[in-house]
């Protein structure tokens, strides 16, 4: 039998909430904890409000967890060997693996989103996805433009992050150095870079008020590409994650080395599935983001 890993997106959920009481309950609980109707924002918009970081981060978390709970309800005894999440998704993984309560994770993400939004407004920044450049060429771009390596998504795709003027220079330089593609991303700021530093102490204050418990399922950390340690180590890693690089492909390598052959992505979109397909040759992939994809994932688990 193959080992299963659950991965959580870091980037919504209405039909699952209507179909599954456990999902409906999560949105109702989130509304109560946050003090406003997150469920209405998720299901009805307006999109301008939903995409603000202080709303977006809790929304993606609740939707991702709802997808996972729906899967669990239809596959009793689902045996999950490991978990991971990209950026914000790492918080979803930590909650699902038992480290934080649902309520505490919501509070952390509301504060994290507000702190990161404030950091974005302090200094204009951006991100650019570069495909097809070796590490030495990427390092050269960083040195010449002042940008930083934010997401090491796969062996041939790296996302750079930094000041807006540096991103513009990086786009030109990447093409000159022979990148297959250099795509400026439509994001609010320079995430996973030193431009987010002002968000760290605010997050640290909130984290000090919540309990972090030992993990029930191993979760791979973004900042190391290796499984998290004890609760104190989790706290340190999640603070470092705000400004640190996301070692995504190293984490997927660690999971496949541990015997994982099937990855189920929970949450909006299929970005992680696309990345894993390029990293883990022969991996079995599926995602859960609505009733149709849920049914396909359940069928895949039944054939495991």
Fold of 3-121+194-302: Malonyl-Coenzyme A Acyl Carrier Protein; domain 2 (3.40.366)
Architecture of domain 124-184: 2-Layer Sandwich (3.30)
pLDDT, position 51? 65
Task: Give all strands (DSSP E) within the chain, no chain letters.
Answer: 3-8, 80-85, 125-131, 148-154, 157-163, 181-184, 260-266, 284-288
> Residues 219-239: pLDDT tens digits?
999 999 999 999 999 999 999
Q: Where are the domains of the chain?
A: 3-121+194-302, 124-184
Pairing of strands 80-85, 3-8: parallel
Low-confidence winner among 45-49, 72-76, 85-89 (lowest mean pLDDT) = 45-49
Looking at the chain, the whole-number percentage of residues with pLDDT higher than 70 is: 92
pLDDT, the chain, mean: 90
Active-site annotation holder among 95, 192, 228, 247: 192
In this predicted structure, the answer to whether residue 13 has a pLDDT above a threshold of 60 is no
Mean pLDDT computed over 67-90: 93
pLDDT, position 12? 44
Question: Between the ranges 45-49, 123-127, 146-150, where is the mean pLDDT highest?
Answer: 146-150
Angstrom distance (rounded) from CA 168 to CA 57: 27
> Residues 239-273: pLDDT tens digits?
999 999 999 999 999 999 999 999 999 988 888 99
Tokens 């750079």, located at residue: 160
Question: Mapping DSSP to helix (H, G, I), strand (E, B) and coil, where does residue 279 land?
Answer: helix
Q: Residue 65 is encoded by which pair of tokens?
A: 């967890």
Angstrom distance (rounded) from CA 59 to CA 53: 9
Mean pLDDT computed over 184-193: 91
Angstrom distance (rounded) from CA 118 to CA 82: 33
Position with higher pLDDT, 279 vs 188: 279
Spatial neighbors of 214 by CB under 8 A, at least 6 apart, are 98, 99, 230, 231
pLDDT, position 20? 61
Of 210, 262, 234, nearest to 93 by C-alpha is: 234
> Residues 272-302: pLDDT tens digits?
999 999 999 999 999 998 889 999 999 988 8
Mean pLDDT computed over 31-41: 81
Position with higher pLDDT, 13 vs 76: 76
247 is annotated as an active-site residue: no
192 is annotated as an active-site residue: yes
pTM, whole model, 2 decimals?
Answer: 0.90
Active-site annotation holder among 53, 64, 87, 92: 87
Q: Omega of the bond prior to 46 within 30 degrees of 0, cis?
A: yes
């Amino acid at each position: 039998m193959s080992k299963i890993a659950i991965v959580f997106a870091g980037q919504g959920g209405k039909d699952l909430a209507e179909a599954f009481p456990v999902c409906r309950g999560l949105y109702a609980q989130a509304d109560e904890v946050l003090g406003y109707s997150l469920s209405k924002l998720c299901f009805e918009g307006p999109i301008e409000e939903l995409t603000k970081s202080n709303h977006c981060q809790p929304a993606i978390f609740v939707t991702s967890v709802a997808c996972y709970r729906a899967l669990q309800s239809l596959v009793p005894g689902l045996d999950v060997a490991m978990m991971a999440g990209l950026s914000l998704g790492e918080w979803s993984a930590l909650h699902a693996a038992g480290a934080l309560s649902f309520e505490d994770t919501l509070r952390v993400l509301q504060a994290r989103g507000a702190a990161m939004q404030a950091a974005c407004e302090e200094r204009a920044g951006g991100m650019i996805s570069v495909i097809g450049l070796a590490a030495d060429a990427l390092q050269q771009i960083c040195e010449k433009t002042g940008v930083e390596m934010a997401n090491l998504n796969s062996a041939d795709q790296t996302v750079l992050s930094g000041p807006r003027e540096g991103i513009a220079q990086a786009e030109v330089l990447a093409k000159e150095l022979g990148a297959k593609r250099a795509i400026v991303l439509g994001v609010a700021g320079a995430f996973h870079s030193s431009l987010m530093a002002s968000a760290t102490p605010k997050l640290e204050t909130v984290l000090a008020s919540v309990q972090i418990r030992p993990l029930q399922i191993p979760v791979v950390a973004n900042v190391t590409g290796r499984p998290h340690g004890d609760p104190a180590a989790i706290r340190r890693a999640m603070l470092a994650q705000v400004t640190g690089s996301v070692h995504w492909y190293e984490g997927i390598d660690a999971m496949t080395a541990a015997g994982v052959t099937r990855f189920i992505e929970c949450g909006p979109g299929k970005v992680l599935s696309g990345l894993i397909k390029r990293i883990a040759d022969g991996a079995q992939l599926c995602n859960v983001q609505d009733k149709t994809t849920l049914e396909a994932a359940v069928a895949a688990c039944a054939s495991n």
